[in-house]
Amino acid sequence: MALWHKAASITVLSLGLALAGLGCTAFPMKSQQVWRSFVEYEYPSAPVGSAEFEAALDRYTGSVARPVEESRLLQNGAEAYPAMLELIDGARESISFETYIIENDDTTDRFFAALKAAAARGVRVRVLVDAAGFHRGLIAQLNELSEAGVEARVFNPFFASWTIVRGNNRDHRKILAVDSRHAILGGINLSDIQTGDGISGWRDTALFVSGPAALDAERVFDQTWRQGGRGWVGKTLPVVCLNPVKQALERPFVDDDAPAESRSGEALASPLLPTDGQATVRVIASTPDARNSTTYDMAILGVAGARERLDIAVAYFVPPLNLRRALLDAAGRGVRVRLLLPGVTDVRMVREMGMRFFGELLQAGIEIYEWPYLILHAKTMAVDGRWLVVGSANMDSRSYFLNYEACLALSSPEVAGQAHEQFDRDLLHASRVTLESWRARSVKQKILEPLLIPAAGQY
């Protein structure tokens, strides 16, 4: 008991320090990005797929390029859900499942049944959901998962002892890692509305990979897993200057229950170099407690590395300054830049915020299209038929600086080419935004755009 009293005292002290800096926890920008925006920092612009580009990703994201045994694009729930359930049904050792939205519906019932069946055959099953995206009516089902041997945690639960400190920082990652050999990442949640083909349901994309990168995905899951549940001790503060102090003070009282094979520093430290021409993939994850956003740097490096074509589909588009500059620079050097954005959205304010940037983008020659059905929820970027990003991060400050996000960055001409082809097919259903139609937008929209500027950093 004495140890826990000490831990509580230490945590209260840390919490007090955190509250003193609470303004920083909701600040939608990292100090390094503020400086880079101010000095008009120039990112490396090596072509995607080159050794120089890979070296820049090493430096800016801290990730490792892993050889790929197999990779496959999964379009919409129609393709992603069967692939995910097949992995769960075939698991023999471990399942790590992390997602944002879980609805109380038939899709969730199917997944929960598969997870319970896996636990019954001796697989270690862990499920992590975010409190903001988690359907309240599922509390009873989470208890049923636990009774069936599934370990389940809620990230940043509301009414917890210190939600006020990091309540603005959500776990937006979507990760399924199985047996440390297979992983699926993307934007797809669990919901009946995502079971369709992108027109009858939400339009979304995930990426399946097999190989050592799955262990990297599991390690990212482990980091968030330790943040789940209630309490103060062991939880990360989204304040760069205070978090290391809190971690050091609490280290003696934190029980690290991540699997030993996922904590292996040796497995991470030595890159597995591919043979010439073999596809490689990186797991790139960002957290709100870091000095900089790795997913943001990844996006800018990808845009800066484009030489021919750049196809971006994203659900929420309110790009921070350095990313807008990169997009404009790409168009200026002759890259064909195409954006596919939602015409219908579940967060209308975000669409209205992003529209204020359309004018300068269109004038620079960037093509903008809007998806007219339900909701475009994908987060993909295909570059020059060589490099592809699929993940949970949108192109906005919330994803880059406030949320926990995770993406796969794949170097593969075959799969990147398939992503470009899918983009072309999507545009057959989309409506093009022209400079004239943008200028003719409603008076209400024109009035809203400057009024929404103060809130833009939260989206």
Mean pLDDT of 234-241: 78
Choose among 317, 333, 393, 339: nearest CA to 61: 393
User: In the chain, how many H helices and how many E strands?
Assistant: 19, 18
Report how far apart the first and last C-alpha atoms of the chain are (Å, whole number): 43
Mean pLDDT of 29-47: 83
Q: Write the burial class of residue 350 (CB in 10 Å: 0-12 exposed, 13-18 middle, 19+ buried).
A: buried
Give residue 10's pLDDT: 41
Task: Give yes or no for a contact between 241 and 21, defined as CB atoms under 8 angstroms apart.
Answer: yes
Q: Is the pLDDT of residue 25 over 90?
A: no
Mean pLDDT of 226-245: 81
Give residue 257's pLDDT: 59
Question: Which 3-state string (H, E, C) describes 78-147?
Answer: HHHHHHHHHHHHHCCCEEEEEECCECCCHHHHHHHHHHHHHHHCCCEEEEEEECCCECHHHHHHHHHHHH
Choose among 257, 185, 256, 172: nearest CA to 214: 185
Mean pLDDT of 196-206: 94
**Helix or strand (DSSP H, E) at 391:** strand 387-391
Please tell me the least confidently modeled range out of 78-92, 174-188, 277-291, 429-443: 277-291
Cβ-Cβ contacts under 8 Å for 206 (sequence gap 6 or more): 73, 74, 80, 83, 174, 184, 185, 186, 187, 188, 390
Q: Is the pLDDT of residue 456 over 90?
A: no
User: Which amino acid belongs to residue 155?
Assistant: F
Mean pLDDT value across the chain? 87
Mean pLDDT of 79-95: 98
Helix 321-332 crosses helix 31-38 at what angle (to 10 degrees)?
A: 40
Cβ-Cβ contacts under 8 Å for 362 (sequence gap 6 or more): 368, 433, 434, 435, 438
**Alpha-carbon span 168 to 170, nearest angstrom:** 6
Of residues 349 and 64, more confidently modeled: 64
Q: With a threshold of 0.85, does the pTM exceed it?
A: yes
Of residues 250 and 381, more confidently modeled: 381
Task: Give yes or no for a contact between 188 and 111, defined as CB atoms under 8 angstroms apart.
Answer: no
**Helix or strand (DSSP H, E) at 342:** strand 336-342
Give residue 276's pLDDT: 57
Of residues 242 and 153, more confidently modeled: 153
User: Which amino acid belongs to residue 108?
Assistant: T
